[in-house]
């Protein structure tokens, strides 16, 4: 498959939740799950890799659907609030860079909880409010590939008539 390894779990969890939300009969759910499983197998994933993820995803979907809409909304709001307490560090990916766990550890030691100094989330800004940052997320951007370098991706940036001028 063309998906990076980390995408597989999210793909399975999302599709299995979708199947459970759209199908009301257990037979239909099981049929759709079999088709989905078979498609992933045909794309080269092994049963040994898929089965544990499928089991967790089915359990997760059932648990989610048993949860009341109010609880779901509260969890969604809590997650949104938590995301406000996060800062992103965007870096270009390079295979020789240290692992992100090293960057995370350095951030925790020198920014979030520096030894002998005030933790970052206890420092006050000019308005006497604490800085609401508890987490660092490192987001890597991939290097350009051959497709990026040799194919035109944005037609409107090139000189000449607009593409729509040739239509009819």
pLDDT of residue 96: 87
Q: Which two tokens stand for residue 139?
A: 């987001």
Q: What tens digit of pLDDT does each residue of 102-123 get?
A: 999 999 999 999 999 999 999 9
Q: Annotate 104-140 with b (16+ C-beta within 10 A) or e (fewer).
A: beebeeeeeeeeeeeebeeeeeeeeeeeeeeebeeee
**What's the pTM?**
0.58
At 143, the pLDDT band (50, 70, 90 cuts) reads: confident
């Amino acid at each position: 498959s063309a998906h990076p390894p980390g995408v597989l779990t999210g793909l399975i969890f999302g599709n299995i939740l979708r199947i459970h939300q759209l199908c009301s009969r257990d037979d239909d759910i099981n049929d759709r799950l079999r088709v989905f499983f078979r498609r992933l197998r045909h794309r080269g994933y092994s049963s040994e890799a898929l089965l544990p993820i499928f089991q967790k995803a089915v359990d997760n979907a059932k648990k989610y659907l048993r949860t009341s809409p109010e609880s779901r909304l509260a969890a969604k709001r809590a997650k949104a609030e938590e995301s406000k307490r996060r800062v992103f560090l965007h870096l270009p990916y390079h295979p020789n860079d240290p692992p992100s766990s090293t960057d995370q550890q350095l951030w925790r030691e020198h920014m979030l909880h520096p030894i002998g100094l005030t933790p970052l989330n206890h420092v006050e800004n000019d308005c006497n409010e604490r800085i609401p940052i508890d987490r660092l997320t490192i987001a890597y951007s991939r290097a350009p590939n051959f497709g990026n370098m040799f194919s035109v991706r944005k037609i409107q940036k090139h000189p000449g008539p607009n593409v729509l001028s040739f239509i009819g």
